[in-house]
């Protein structure tokens, strides 16, 4: 009887010890997560204050989602006023309301799916002078809580594959958050100082412009990192590697390696001496230099699809994209270059899981 009682006491004590240990571990994890969230939110706010000071003529509105999409949308509506105008797309006056409706819906979707985005509007509140508003959707906990999430945010692959990437090749979360902010702000600055996307009857005009805009945005974000870190750090090298694997995510529009390599050709000391506005001008010139013709872009898509087929991820290509790119023949030389470069960046990341 005594032995049974002892066994029961030992069992109870063991269970209590395990429960206490589990509670302490969970409490520690919660504390670390809370501390990390505080850090990245502070970084995000500081970065936005920097841009507000640099461009006082632009209002910067940050929407995080955080499970309160409805509240964010109400804040957006209040900020934009009764008759806002999109500054991202050239449009006739009679389509202003339709474009605003689509643009607002897009922002709502970005919030729901916790995806980064940027939109520029001309707010029209009857009580104030119309002012450009850069609306950013950035959920810091979704893109920058740790290196796995940061890397996965840029390279849309399953988490189990990202976790196989060695730590030194993953994207450092705080550096990546700054990269995302700079990248998205560039899109607003482009609409503000270069102008909106021109109207076009071409079927893939949106994708065509987006491809080139991403070149500029990545060039700007990487150059801003070099400017503040005073070097071409491991982080920007990893950005190049991850972007170089965009075809594995069926995302040829984000294959920005050529733009990044253009930045790396600029002496570090020259970039360090630039201010943010000069860096924007440099990135925009890189975007302009890399601009290809519309027909050249369609051929690039066709070549990318063929390259994805050879990489073994052809099933990721949508039927719609195949149909649109079918109007051009792939270029064998370009296909070979795409496949070779993708394999090289894959090797650089030591991520043989995809082979």
> Is the residue at 80 inside a domain?
yes
Mean pLDDT of the chain: 89
pLDDT tens, 250-267? 999 999 999 999 999 999
Q: Where does a domain end: 109, 140, 171?
A: 140
Using CA atoms, how far apart are residues 192 and 155, in angstroms rounded to an integer?
29
Using CA atoms, how far apart are residues 169 and 218, in angstroms rounded to an integer?
18
The burial class, CB within 10 Å (0-12 / 13-18 / 19+), for 232 is middle
Nearest to 252 by CA among 316, 164, 344, 202: 316
> Higher confidence at residue 231 or residue 17?
231
> Is the residue at 27 inside a domain?
no
Q: Which residues pair with 137 in a beta bridge?
A: 63, 117
Average pLDDT over residues 330-343: 97
- Other CB atoms within 10 A of residue 18 CB: 10
**Farthest CA pair distance, the chain:** 91
> Is the residue at 189 inside a domain?
yes
Evaluate if residue 345 carries a pLDDT over 90. yes
Q: Where does a domain end: 140, 172, 201?
A: 140
pLDDT of residue 1: 47
User: Which of 3-7, 64-68, 97-101 holds the top average pLDDT?
Assistant: 97-101
Q: Write out the two tokens for 73.
A: 């949308």
pLDDT tens, 210-241? 999 999 999 999 999 999 999 999 999 999 99
Same domain, 218 and 92: no
Average pLDDT over residues 54-72: 91
> Is the residue at 166 inside a domain?
yes
pLDDT tens, 277-301? 999 999 999 999 999 999 999 999 9
> Is the residue at 29 inside a domain?
no
pLDDT tens, 124-149? 865 667 899 999 999 988 888 899 99
Note the pTM of the prediction, 2 decimals. 0.89
Q: What contacts 108, CB < 8 A, 6 or more positions away?
A: 69, 73
Same domain, 231 and 204: yes
> Is the residue at 133 inside a domain?
yes
Evaluate if residue 35 carries a pLDDT over 90. no
Nearest to 155 by CA among 351, 302, 355: 351
pLDDT tens, 78-87? 999 989 999 9
> Is the residue at 13 inside a domain?
no
Its domain, for residue 48, covers: 39-140
Using CA atoms, how far apart are residues 113 and 104, in angstroms rounded to an integer?
14
Same domain, 228 and 167: yes
Q: Write out the two tokens for 132.
A: 């450009």
Rg (CA), the chain: 24
Please provide residue 232's backbone torsions phi and psi, each rounded to the nearest 5 degrees: -85, 95
> Is the residue at 128 inside a domain?
yes
Average pLDDT over residues 262-276: 98
């Amino acid at each position: 009887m005594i032995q049974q009682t002892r066994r029961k006491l030992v069992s109870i004590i063991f269970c209590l010890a395990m429960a206490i240990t589990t509670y302490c571990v969970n409490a520690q994890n919660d504390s670390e997560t809370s501390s990390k969230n505080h850090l990245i939110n502070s970084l995000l706010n500081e970065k936005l204050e920097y841009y507000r000071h640099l461009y006082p003529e632009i209002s910067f509105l940050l929407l995080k989602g955080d499970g309160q999409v409805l509240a964010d949308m109400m804040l957006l509506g209040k900020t934009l006023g009764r008759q806002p105008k999109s500054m991202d797309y050239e449009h006739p006056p009679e389509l202003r309301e339709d474009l605003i409706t689509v643009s607002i819906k897009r922002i709502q979707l970005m919030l729901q799916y916790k995806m980064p985005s940027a939109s520029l509007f001309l707010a029209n509140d009857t009580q104030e002078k119309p002012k450009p508003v850069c609306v950013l959707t950035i959920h810091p906990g979704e893109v920058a809580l740790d290196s796995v999430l940061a890397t996965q945010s840029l390279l849309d692959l399953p988490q189990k594959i990202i976790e196989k990437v060695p730590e030194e090749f993953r994207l450092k979360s705080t550096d990546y958050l700054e990269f995302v902010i700079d990248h998205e702000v560039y899109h607003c600055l482009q609409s503000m100082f270069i102008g909106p996307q021109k109207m076009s009857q071409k079927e893939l005009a949106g994708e065509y412009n987006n491809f080139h805009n991403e070149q500029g945005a990545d060039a700007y974000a990487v150059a801003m990192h070099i400017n503040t870190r005073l070097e071409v750090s491991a982080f920007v090298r990893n950005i190049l590697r991850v972007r170089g694997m965009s075809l594995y995510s069926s995302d040829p529009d984000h294959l920005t390696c050529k733009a990044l390599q253009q930045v790396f050709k600029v002496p570090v000391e020259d970039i360090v001496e630039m201010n943010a506005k000069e860096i924007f001008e440099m990135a925009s010139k890189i975007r302009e230099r890399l601009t290809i013709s519309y027909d050249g872009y369609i051929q690039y898509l066709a070549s990318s699809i063929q390259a994805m087929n050879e990489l073994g991820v052809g099933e990721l290509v949508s039927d719609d994209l195949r149909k649109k790119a079918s109007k051009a023949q792939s270029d064998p030389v370009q296909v070979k270059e795409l496949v070779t470069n993708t394999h090289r960046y894959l090797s650089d990341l030591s991520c043989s899981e995809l082979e």
